Amino acid sequence: MKNLVGAALLGQSGGPTSVINSSAAGVFIEALKQENITAVYGAVHGIKGVLNEDFYDIGQEDLEELMRLKHTPSSAIGSVRFKLKDPKKDPSEYERLLEVFKKYNIRYFFYNGGNDSMDTCNKISKFFKKSGYDCNVMGVPKTIDNDLNATDHSPGYASAAKYVATTFMELYHDATVYDTKQVTIVEVMGRNAGWLTAAAALAQYKGQGPDLIYLPEVPFDIEQFFSAVEENLNKKGKVIVAVSEGIKTKEGKYIPEMYQELKRDAFGHAQLGGTAQVLAEQIANRIDVKVRAIEFSLIQRSAAHLASKVDVEEAFNAGKKAVQAAVRGTTDKMVGFKRVSSNPYKMKYVLLPLKLAANTEQKVPLEWILPEGKGLTQDYVDYALPLIQGDAKAKLVDGLPQFAKLKKIRVAKK
Active site residue 54: no
User: In the complex, what is the shortest distance from the CB of residue 236 to a copy of itself, in angstroms, rounded to a whole number?
Assistant: 14
CB of 158 to a copy of itself, least distance (A): 9
- Are 139 and 12 a contacting pair, CB within 8 Å? no
Q: What is the closest distance, in whole angstroms, from the C-beta atom of residue 54 to a copy of itself in the complex?
A: 10
Where along the sequence are the contacts to a copy of itself (CB under 8 A)?
Answer: 16, 44-45, 48, 72-76, 78-81, 162, 165-167, 169-171, 173-179, 184, 202-203, 205-208, 292, 294-299, 301-306, 308, 385, 388-391, 396, 398-401, 403, 405
Q: In terms of CB distance, is 221 or 313 closer to a copy of itself?
A: 313
Q: Minimum distance from CB of 132 to a copy of itself (Å)?
A: 32
- Paired with 244 in beta bridges are 188
Q: Which is nearer to a copy of itself, 178 or 259 (CB)?
A: 178
Nearer to a copy of itself, 5 or 177 (CB): 177
Q: Catalytic: which of 119, 145, 147, 332? A: 145
CB nearer to a copy of itself: give 303 or 327: 303
What is the DSSP code string of 310-332? HHHHHHHHHHHHHHHHHHTT--S
Task: Outline where DSSP puts E strands in 114-211.
Answer: 136-141, 182-188
Provide, rounded to whole angstroms, the least separation between the CB of residue 229 and a copy of itself. 18
Cβ-proximal residues to 219 (8 Å cutoff; 6+ apart), any chain = 248, 249, 250
Q: Is cis: bond before 344, omega within 30 of 0?
A: yes
Nearer to a copy of itself (CB atom), residue 249 or residue 377: 377
CA distance 117 to 46: 10
Between CA 172 and CA 252 the distance in angstroms is 31
Backbone angles phi, psi at 287, to 5 degrees: -125, 140
For 175-201, b where at least 16 C-beta lie within 10 A, e where not — what string? bbeeeebbbbbbbbbbbebbbbbbbbb
Q: How far is the CB of 297 from a copy of itself (least distance, A)?
A: 5
Question: Beta strand pairing status for 345-353 and 333-342?
Answer: antiparallel
What DSSP letter does each residue of 243-302 carry, written as one string?
A: EETT-B-TTS-BTGGGTSPPPB-TTS-B----HHHHHHHHHHHHS-SEEEEEE-TTHHHH
- Say if CB 31 and CB 41 are below 8 A apart: no
CA–CA gap between residue 156 and residue 73 (Å, rounded) = 10
* Positions marked catalytic: 145
